[in-house]
Structure 1
Amino acid sequence: MEKVTSKQMNLIDSFCIKAIGIPGIVLMENAALKVIKNIDLNSYNNFTIVAGVGNNGGDGLAIGRHLSVLGKNVNVFVIGNVRHGSKDFVTNYSILRNMNIHIHHILEREDLKHLQKSVRSSEMVIDAIFGTGLSRNIEGLFERTISIINKSDNFILSVDIPSGLSSDTGEILNTCIKADKTVTFQLLKKGLVENSGEKYAGEIVVEPIGMPKIAIEKGLRNF
């Protein structure tokens, strides 16, 4: 199976959106539905979703919407400055607000108490904090948030890549989600199978999200 770097994946994503005309929100919706497909909905009813404010976080919010529509109990947490959110993150954030789904914000250490309580009452935690573009060490509230998730006994599912894992090298950027399962999109990310990748990713599932062959070939050829 073809393994890609974060830059290659960005090129493919950009070609899909800008050259072919597939809206990013469509790819995000496809990604969310593929994550839902990989959840045993007969076994899990209570979920905590922790989302960043980038496109990975947007995936997480879309997943939360679908779980809520399916009648599941979902607590959604957003960590990061929403005003700096990506366009498609903001779209899904607005949809949840319009559905009157309460969103908890992690802005200071006191907010972590609400996260701890939610994690204790959940059966699955969905990690959608950082995606493949992460290149800096994780510190502060983000580090504490990941620590709370990792200390839980819940099943942990990571969206695209465990938060804190380098998509290119599989190195740990100070700390990292230790997932039971990672649903990654369209192509296998190099970091998932190199260095610490497999140890932190758990079961790896690669799901197509509607990216055409021409976009994939273009992205791989031009790198």
Structure 2
Amino acid sequence: MIAVTGENMKAIDNYCIEKLGIPGIVLMENAALKVIKNIDLNKFNHFTILCGVGNNGGDGLAVARHLIVKDKKVDIFILGNIDKGSHDFMINYNILKNMNIPIKYIDNKKDLKTLEESLSKSDMVIDSVFGTGLTREVEGIYKDAFSLVNQKGKYILSIDIPSGMDSDTGKILGIAIKPNKTITFQLMKKGLVDNKNLAGDVIVEPIGMPKIAIDTVLNTNKDH
């Protein structure tokens, strides 16, 4: 099985979007549906979804929508400045707003109480804060929230990579979410191979990225 770096994955993503013309939002929707496929909906009914404001967070918001459509109880929390939301994150954010779905924001210690209340009631936490692009240490309110999720989450599923893990090396950047299961997209990430213990059960799901995109990028990288 090929394992790729975060940079490889970003380049493949960009090739699909810019060269092939597949809208990023289509890839995001495919990713969300693959996450749903890996959740036992007979067993899990109440979800706490923790989202960042990048595309990983957008995946989480799309997952939240599908769970809501299936009549599940979903508490959505956003960590980060909404004004810095990625384009596809904002599309999913606005859809939820148009559906009148309540969204909570974690900005300070007081907000962590609300998160803790949600964690005590929910039977699954979905982690979609940071994706494969994270390189800096996790600190501040993020660190507090991750610590709370690790302590109180009954079952944790991470989208693409556990938030706080370096996707290239598997190194923990200060603190990371410790999931029971990680659903990663299209290709295995090097960090998930190097730090299997943190990621729980890792499942690689294709999200419709054509072979030409993967081959072109990986062959290009070999040439350098």
Question: After TM superposition, is the score higher than 0.5?
Answer: yes
Compute the TM-score of the two structures, normalised by the length of structure 1: 0.98
Aligned-partner Cα distance in 2 for 1:210–1:61? 19
Q: What per-residue deviation string (whole Å, max 9, x for no partner) do you get for residues 148-201 of structure 1?
A: 10001411000000000000000000000000000000000000010xx21110
Instruction: Say which SS state the counterpart of residue 193 (structure 1) adopts.
Output: helix
Instruction: Name the structure 2 match of 1:193.
Output: 193
SS of corresponding position for 2:202 = strand
Between the aligned partners of 1:204 and 1:4, the Cα distance in structure 2 is 15
For residues 22-41 of structure 1, the C-alpha deviation after alignment (integer angstroms, 9 at most, x for no partner) is: 00000000000000000000
1:56 counterpart = 2:36: no
SS in 2 for 1:222: helix
Hey, what's the Cα distance between the residues in 1 that align with 2:154 and 2:217? 37
Q: Equivalents in 1 of 2:70, 2:209: separation in Å?
A: 26
> Which one is further off, 85-94 or 150-159?
150-159
Partner SS, residue 53 of structure 2: coil
Could you tell me whether the CA contact under 8 Å between 2:5 and 2:167 is conserved in 1? yes
**Does structure 1 conserve the Cα–Cα contact (< 8 Å) formed by 2:125 and 2:153?**
no
Structure 2: gaps spanning 5 or more residues: none
Aligned counterpart for 1:203 among listed residues 185, 201, 204: 201
RMSD, aligned α-carbons: 0.5
Counterpart CA distance in 2 for 1:91 and 1:222 is: 32
Show the 5 A alignment for 1:14-93. Answer: 14-93=14-93
The alpha-carbon deviation at position 203 of structure 1 amounts to: 0.1
1:107 corresponding residue in structure 2? 107
Mapped contact 2:49–2:64 kept (Cα < 8 A): yes
Amino acid at match of 2:197: K
Which 4+ runs in 1 deviate beyond 6 A?
none
> 1:147 is matched with which residue?
147
User: Are 1:98 and 2:122 matched, yes or no?
Assistant: no
Q: Which residue of 2 aligns with 1:176?
A: 176
2: CA distance, partners of 1:146 / 1:33: 25
The DSSP-based 3-state class of the residue aligned with 1:127 is strand
Structure 1 unmatched runs, 5+: none
Which amino acid counterpart does residue 129 of structure 2 have in structure 1? I
Q: 1:216 is matched with which residue?
A: 214
Spell out, residue by residue over 1:28-80, the C-alpha distance to the aligned partner (whole angstroms, 9 max, x if none).
Answer: 00000000000000000000000000000000000000000000000000000
1:10 aligned partner:
10
SS across alignment from 2:135: coil
Task: Please name the residue that 1:136 is paired with.
Answer: 136
**Given residue 209 of structure 1, which amino acid in structure 2 is its aligned partner?**
I
TM-score (norm 2): 0.98
Cα drift, residue 108 of structure 1: 1.2
